Amino acid sequence: MFFRWDWLRPVLTAPIVPTLGPVHPDALTVDIFEDTLRAAVTRDFLPYDKDRRWSDEKDETVLRGDVVHQPKHTLIPTLNRRGRGTVKVFAYGHRAGVVDEAAELAVKLTVVHDAVDARVVHPLGPEAGSPRGTRIQLQDFTARPCQDPDGPVRPVTDWPAAVQETFAPFAEAMAGDGLAFLHAQIQLGRCGPVLVAAVENRVVGAIGPMEVRPDAIGCPQLLPQYFAVLPEARGHGLGRFLWRAAMHWGQSHGAAYQLLQTEVGGASDRLCQSEGLISLGFSHTTRA
């Protein structure tokens, strides 16, 4: 075993694992970190990796030979081979200077691996307040029932054909939110159902795909979705209708929880906070 849990656990201020992203606090064990090292050798997906639904090979792997693991801090670098290459160094530690040390390592490894982008990911605990970056939020489906909202939301395939045909232009308009990619995956039959909101026979919002899979300890989780509403359709509660419909779907299909990442202060962040989700911490990413 490479990692010492008595060194690593005290510096895990937020449940973020390199190459995997946020994980449930109950799944945050030394085993999941060890799994990422083994996957770096084979470049295969771990069975519980949420990204395996999109590809046959993992783009991002841990640079296991360059991990810095010490009693007070741990630096775990990864290389993403997509595009021209990105090195990220996940900086776990409370001491001053840990981010600077991570940045130096990221720059060095960018040269070694002929990558063009170097970044530092610094997890922060929930007590950090509301810094810039990404908030990690937990929806616990075991805590309370998620009612089916009474709104214009249903799976895209349940709408009349004329409405379904408007999904493609909607997805193209919201390509920046990942909806064009999602539409392509739907056409390939590679993902679960997508819930959409329609007004006057036109798709104006969507959330999906809806899929439940076991996590690292076998607990069923609702996987993250793409979520967007056309700008001209905002301000009428459609985003909340979509969100609540998705949560109802997840709970009724056996999910125990969902983890979400929202931009601090953004519309989705405010929605999740108002819906009572639990903040597990933050992730602050900077260029090295």
Averaged pLDDT of the chain: 94
pTM (2 d.p.): 0.92
Domains, in order of start, for the chain? 5-132 (no CATH), 143-255 (3.40.630.30)
pLDDT for 26? 96
Instruction: Report pLDDT digits (tens) over 211-259.
Output: 999 999 999 999 999 999 999 999 999 999 999 999 999 999 999 999 9
pLDDT for 33? 97
Element (H, E) at 213: strand 212-214
pLDDT for 169? 97
Element (H, E) at 89: strand 86-93
C-alpha–C-alpha distance, residues 129 and 95, integer Å: 19
Segments in the chain below pLDDT 50: none
pLDDT for 190? 82
Q: Quick check: bond before 209 cis, omega within 30?
A: yes
pLDDT for 1? 77
